[in-house]
Amino acid sequence: WKTEELSLSHLEEFEVRDLRGSDHEVAFVKRFFSWAAVLKQMEVTFYYKIPEIKAKELYQMLWSFSRPGIRMTFYIYRKSRKVVYVPED
């Protein structure tokens, strides 16, 4: 028998779906950035009923946790369609 562990140290892509922004979700994503040492791409889809103000807050927070070189793409639902999210200033 040889048991192999799942290692986050080699993970290059990560997807988060239906992010609502609860404290435990945010804490997990923050820790995840330190666990996934070679992460290159992250895709985040907000929960379909998330208010714009909450999406903007999470967008800014997740960027503050991120490292240079990680390509992050955010999605939000508008009129029942998933679209790329870029907050308005």
pLDDT of residue 1: 38
Tokens matching residue 89:
């200033």
Helix axes 52-65, 23-35, angle to 10 degrees: 30
Q: Smallest Cα–Cα separation from 32: which of 89, 72, 86, 83?
A: 72
pTM of the model: 0.85
pLDDT of residue 70: 93
Give the integer Cα–Cα distance in Å for 18 and 77: 10
pLDDT per 10-residue tile (average), the chain, 89 residues: 56 93 94 87 96 96 92 95 91
